[in-house]
Amino acid sequence: MPNKDLLVVGELNVDLILNKIEGFPKIGTEIIAENMNVTLGSSSAIMAANASAIGINTSFCGIVGKDDFGDFIRKELQKKQVNTDFIEKTTKHQSGVTVVMNYNQDRANVTYCGAMEALTIDKIPWNHLDNFKHFHLSNFFIQKGIRKDIVSIFEKAKSYGVTTSLDLQWDPENKWDFNYKECLPHVDVFMPNEAELLALTKTTTVNNGIEEIMPYANTIVIKMGDKGSMAFHNGETYQALPYANPNYVDSIGAGDSFNAGFIKKYIEKQPIETCLKFGNLTGALNTTAAGGTTAFSGKKNIIEDAIKLFNAEI
């Protein structure tokens, strides 16, 4: 296998996205949504697809059901030039599905996990890892098959000489059972958003949250939505302002697109400030179209939209 840039390990599902919804659901009643899209979902897959779209040679490791949704997921990743050789099909579970109900810049999600819970440490292609430069894992809490081995996964990944990153995402059970004291020393870039950092550390400010985990972490990157992003590394604090979006549609996958942009520059060994700024740009581009990957339809379109909407270069 030729050398690759990025291996993404994580969950796979489709997103069924409802927009322009008339009110909020109530038991025993029915409401109407004016728009509906079915797109590639899951934090990990969105990150991988958009990383590939902006020029990172990307492969994916995960599990789908042997069903129509599983075929759709693989085909959508392949359209984005993501290598799917490490995606397994299972007959024991159906592919995952998330119903996304959009309300302006917020949303409510309902997820059926299905095959994403079947991913375990032994499914990761360890014998190929030395072909890669970087190892990324997203959505830790929702993947029950890898949770108990998360420290071992990152410790083993580092033993192959790759750089690593982790985006926990939200804990649906709100327990936040993640052993960051043992895991984060093996994670080069830890990438929570502001709410996740505060929930994980049981603190009320970003500074307090950083103080809690910094003794165990290498680089911490905080996604802060319309406040931009911050990073903490070697006692230094870095900050990048957001890009104002004149064509906002929804924020599904914006954090994952930020991850893709940040990691692209990180792999290229660019300064932290450059990584943050580029992450903000790819996150902003994400919000110009419905779903997590629609805005990244091709290199030419991405370049043109970045210049036209944000006066920035990809």
Average confidence (pLDDT) over 8-34: 92
What is the separation, in whole angstroms, between the first and last Cα of the chain? 28
Report whether pLDDT(121) > 90.
Answer: yes
- Alpha carbon distance 267, 253 (integer Å): 21
| 32-53 pLDDT, tens digit each | 999 998 989 999 999 999 999 9
Contact 192, 165 (CB under 8 A): no
What is the value of pTM for the model shown?
A: 0.93
pLDDT reported for residue 133: 97
Q: Structural domain of residue 263, as residue ranges?
A: 6-310
Domain count within the chain: 1
Residue 1 counted as domain residue: no
Report whether pLDDT(1) > 60.
Answer: no
Lowest pLDDT segment from 20-24, 164-168, 274-278: 20-24
Neighbours of 131 (CB within 10 A): 16
Type of residue numbered 263: I
pLDDT reported for residue 2: 53
- Alpha carbon distance 119, 128 (integer Å): 17
- Alpha carbon distance 243, 288 (integer Å): 12
Report whether pLDDT(91) > 80.
Answer: yes
pLDDT reported for residue 160: 97
Average confidence (pLDDT) over 204-232: 96
Q: What is the CATH number of the domain that holds 38?
A: 3.40.1190.20
Residue 26 counted as domain residue: yes
Average confidence (pLDDT) over 122-144: 96
Report whether pLDDT(299) > 90.
Answer: no
Residue 54 counted as domain residue: yes
Lowest pLDDT segment from 115-119, 156-160, 295-299: 295-299
Six-digit token pair at 100?
A: 């996304």
Residue 117 counted as domain residue: yes
